[in-house]
Structure 1
Amino acid sequence: MNTTITCRKALPTDVEALYELIQAYALQGIMLPRSREALLRHIDSFVVAEEAGRLIGCGSLFRLGADLVEIRSLGMADGYKGKGLGTMIVNALIEEARALQVPKIMALTYAVDFFVKNGFSVVEKEIFPEKVWTDCVHCSKQHACDEIAVVKLLS
């Protein structure tokens, strides 16, 4: 049976599945944890991918300034890596950024090759003081951050 994967805006009913997906990454130390309350509060910023009614991927946009948004909480269920799902979610988030008329989209990531393949460029994270002062000041890796910053200019 072939099923179709679709991307859509997240709904409040997605919070538990989002929490479980993000928590799996957070336990590995590769994504910041998000509480159920925070997910519900920011549900409008999330895009989810689903297959046969099951949430299999997610990502969100967070506004860091008038001209900059960040891709956050980009992840997928086991068995879906390398199948184009991440690109599908990132493309949905890029379209969202374009609709918001934001000219730059960035991410902090360990998956540099994935973002470069999707048109992002590696940059110094220090060029994003908005990010540093919003999240990095609260991160346990603040003084030893090993994530790489990437950016894409939207036209």
Structure 2
Amino acid sequence: MSTSDVRELTTEAEWRAAFPVLSQLREHLSEDQFIDRLRRMHEEGYRLFALFRRGEVVSVAGVALRTNFYNGRHLFVYDLVTRTDRRSEGHGSRLMAFLEDWARERNCESITLESGLWRSDAHRFYEDELGMERFCYTFKKELVRDDTA
């Protein structure tokens, strides 16, 4: 392994190694919840990639190939996070450059992602470092299950 490389994580052991980094973004998940949900997501096409530096997971991205009317074939980035103690060292940019190439090889027209409104530092990174543009809002409505039926 070089001092810095990116690869897809496909085993539970690799997923567990990435959990401490991903949990910095998805703080509400325990490790077991993360693994359980990741298994289901993986069956639906979600793929987890990590950038390693000297053998340690530094950045993680969770993605899926998607097709829809407004983006055509695209790579959707569901999760993107760099360890808090390793930010501003270019790791996120390197991971996204890898994913851009990976998406091009799979005939994607674009890369898209969603980001919380409060994540202004992330927005600056996407726009200034990655050359992405804001183009829409995402709306969400929680569905409450009726467990009395």
Of 109, 114, 120, the match for 2:132: 120
Change (3 A) 1:44 1:27: closer
**Letter of the structure 2 residue corresponding to residue 67 of structure 1:** R
Change (3 A) 1:100 1:38: farther
The aligned length equals: 125
**TM-score normalized by structure 1?**
0.68
Residue matched to 1:31: none
Of 50, 62, 77, the match for 1:60: 62
Distance 2:142 2:21 in 1: 22
Of 41, 49, 52, the match for 1:50: 52
**Letter of the structure 1 residue corresponding to residue 109 of structure 2:** P
| Cα contact 1:48–1:59 (8 A) shared by 2 | yes
Distance 2:39 2:98 in 1: 20
The structure whose residues are more often helix, as a share, is 1
Mark the runs of 5 or more structure 1 residues left unpaired by the alignment.
29-33, 127-131, 140-155
Residue matched to 2:25: 25
Change (3 A) 1:8 1:44: farther
Change (3 A) 1:11 1:120: same
Residue by residue over 1:28-79, the C-alpha shift from the partner in whole angstroms, topping out at 9 and shown as x without a partner, is 8xxxxx7213334529722211122211111022233252321121112232
Deviates more, 1:98-107 or 1:14-23: 14-23
Residue matched to 1:105: 111
Structure label with greater radius of gyration: 2
Distance 1:81 1:59 in 2: 14
Mark the runs of 5 or more structure 2 residues left unpaired by the alignment.
144-149
| Cα contact 1:47–1:92 (8 A) shared by 2 | no
| Cα contact 1:15–1:40 (8 A) shared by 2 | no
Cα deviation, residue 115, structure 1: 0.8
**Letter of the structure 2 residue corresponding to residue 64 of structure 1:** R
Counterpart secondary structure, 2:19: helix
| Cα contact 2:6–2:95 (8 A) shared by 1 | yes
Residue matched to 2:10: 11
